[in-house]
Amino acid sequence: MSSQNYVKIFDTTLRDGEQSPGCSMNLAEKLRIAEQLEALGVDIIEAGFAIASDGDFEAVQAVARQAKTATIASLARAATGDIDRAWAALKDAKNPRIHTFIATSPLHMRVKLEMEPEAVLEKIRASVSHARNLCGDVEWSAEDATRSDLDFLCRAVETAIRAGASTINLPDTVGYATPETYGAMFRDVISRVPDADKAIFSTHCHNDLGLAVANTLAAVSGGARQVESTINGIGERAGNAALEEIAMALRVRNDVMPYATGVNTREITRASRLVSAVTGFQVQPNKAIVGANAFAHESGIHQDGMLKDASTYEIMTPESVGLSESSLVMGKHSGRHAFRQKLEELGYKLGDNEFQDAFKRFKDLADAKKHVYDEDIVALVDDETIRD
Ligand code: KIV
Ligand code: ZN
């Protein structure tokens, strides 16, 4: 696959992910997550927002010093003090990146920044140039890009590239975009901005409408070659695009999305569990890729299919995301085939009559009880069976 089809994975679990209310992490936890992100094979780790607090500064610095292969980024507003602080935290990294941003939507410029658009352009020029004088790798983000005027956004991107930004990030800050509009925005900006080929375009999607991953993939089709995401999709409000979903979508549907990433998908489950344990944010059971039910099957028809050939009901193997096996969950929808298999796993061999009787009692129990555990099945059959 050509290098033009390589999509860089930018992980912002430690910065935007940590901005989830109630999810702050201490230094040791951040270092452990950063280590796992490198094992996962992400290209860039955004380690924090160095000016936000002394703790954030120390975390960015420690991650920068620990990192072996990944580029380490720190966020900075378009202000000299922010950028200098980011650089001070990053300068020991093997591969440092300053990530600076300013809002470009009429709403944000008027209400939040209280600046005229021309003044914002000048701020972009000055901030990116300042960052570029300190660091060879500068990313610039147009906050609220998806609610920005397209002509103005193109002028802002052109200014940032001229000033030395080599990555241009167009975030859907409030999760407002749809796949069609977000993909089209990338196509339009990339085709209209002179020297667009001097930069890598990047997506950054929030999940307010549940479209973050779909929007991210649409942007890749529109020409983006860096995706910003977090483990388990944690982040402000409804969260960010989930890294594991993007990586697996690009892997499983490579036939229609022929892009490569450096992600070692077998490290996904480990990364997900680590982030969940550290933040205390539990992953919903039906979450794609990493939810407890993502590879679990309860209905009789599905269990029967799985026992014959797993590809009947699984589009990826559990091993491909670092799980040892799928699970057949015993419940009221389970059929005879799965029940017999479960009994064999538990060491029971039942004759036909015993089996029919045990199956009937199992169904009665499953009707009355949400979860039927192995112990329940053992208790159900123990008094009248021969154990191997
Ligand atoms: O959502 C956003 O716009 C951001 C930027 C600061 C990159 O997180
Ligand atoms: Zn964000």
According to DSSP, the β-strands at 226-229 and 296-297 are unpaired
Reported as a pLDDT band with limits 50, 70 and 90, residue 383 is low
Distance 235 CA to ligand 2 centre (A): 7
Full-model pTM: 0.92
Does ligand 1 come within 6 angstroms of the Cβ of 101?
yes
Q: To the nearest whole number, what is the mean pLDDT of the chain?
A: 95
H or E stretch covering 45: strand 44-48
> Which residue among 49, 75, 83, 216 has the greatest number of ligand 1 atoms within 8 angstroms of its CB, and so is best to mutate?
75
The pLDDT of residue 348? 87
Percent of the chain with pLDDT over 90: 89
CB 129, CB 98: distance < 8 Å: no
| Ligand that lies nearest to the alpha carbon of residue 143, given by its number in the listed order | 1
The pLDDT of residue 387? 45
Does ligand 1 come within 6 angstroms of the Cβ of 172?
no
Q: What is the pLDDT of residues 253-291, one digit of tens each?
A: 999 999 999 999 999 999 999 999 999 999 999 999 999
Q: Is 297 annotated as a binding residue?
A: no
Q: What is the pLDDT of residues 95-122, one digit of tens each?
A: 999 999 999 999 999 999 999 999 999 9
The pLDDT of residue 388? 45
| Ligand that lies nearest to the alpha carbon of residue 102, given by its number in the listed order | 1
Distance 286 CA to ligand 2 centre (A): 24
Name which residue sits closest to atom 7 of ligand 1, judged by CA: 141
Does ligand 1 come within 6 angstroms of the Cβ of 146?
no
Reported as a pLDDT band with limits 50, 70 and 90, residue 385 is low
Q: Which of 115-129, 203-217, 312-326 has the lowest mean pLDDT?
A: 312-326
Reported as a pLDDT band with limits 50, 70 and 90, residue 349 is confident
Does ligand 1 come within 6 angstroms of the Cβ of 261?
no
Percent of the chain with pLDDT over 70: 98
Q: What is the pLDDT of residues 161-202, one digit of tens each?
A: 999 999 999 999 999 999 999 999 999 999 999 999 999 999
**ipTM tops 0.85:** yes
What are the distances in angstroms from CA 21 to CA 24, 36, 92, 156, 313?
8, 23, 30, 31, 36
Rg (CA), the chain: 25
Q: Is 99 annotated as a binding residue?
A: no
CB 232, CB 287: distance < 8 Å: yes
Does ligand 1 come within 6 angstroms of the Cβ of 148?
no
The pLDDT of residue 347? 84
The pLDDT of residue 23? 87
Distance 228 CA to ligand 2 centre (A): 9
> Which residue among 11, 12, 16, 226 has the greatest number of ligand 1 atoms within 8 angstroms of its CB, and so is best to mutate?
16
What b-and-e string marks burial along 279-308, b requiring 16 or more CB atoms within 10 Å of the CB?
bebebeeebebbbeebbebbbbebbbbbbe
Question: Can you tell me the mean pLDDT for 77-94?
Answer: 98
Locate 147 and state its tokens: 């609610």
Does ligand 1 come within 6 angstroms of the Cβ of 207?
no
